[in-house]
Amino acid sequence: MRRDIFQAIADPTRRAIIALIAVQALTPNAIAEHFDTSRQAVSKHLRILQECEIVKKEQEGREIYYELEVEKMKEIDQWLEQFRKIWESRFDQLDNVLSTLKKNEQ
């Protein structure tokens, strides 16, 4: 089953995993140490993130390291950018209204 990227980042544990591996690549055991949950639960979260191509795994000897797939994160940022522009525009409008009200008070 192909998962949606937004479905993957909707879960707080997966967002926390993303934040962890954004700093450095980590093994599943190293990731699991940061959570009060089983190693199997962390593995399930990693599998979902990998299916959505948010993380990729690299094998180094016996160890598997998970790292952030930056290009996929850029897709999320690009989607959010349209809303960021709307919010900024509305905040600018609010600033103008507040400035006008402040001038009228004086």
| pLDDT over 70 at 2, yes or no | no
Could you give the C-alpha distances from 5 to 16, 42, 95, in angstroms and in order?
A: 15, 17, 35
What whole-number percentage of the chain has pLDDT above 90? 55
More confident residue, 15 or 5: 15
pLDDT, tens digit (0-9, with 9 covering 90-100), for 51-99: 999 999 999 999 999 999 988 888 888 888 989 889 988 888 998 899 8
More confident residue, 5 or 47: 47
Residue 104, pLDDT score: 86
> Token pair for residue 101?
């009200």
The full set of domain ranges for the chain reads 1-68, 70-106
Q: With respect to CATH, is domain 1-68 assigned 3.40.50.12500?
A: no
Residue 75, pLDDT score: 85
Residue 72, pLDDT score: 85
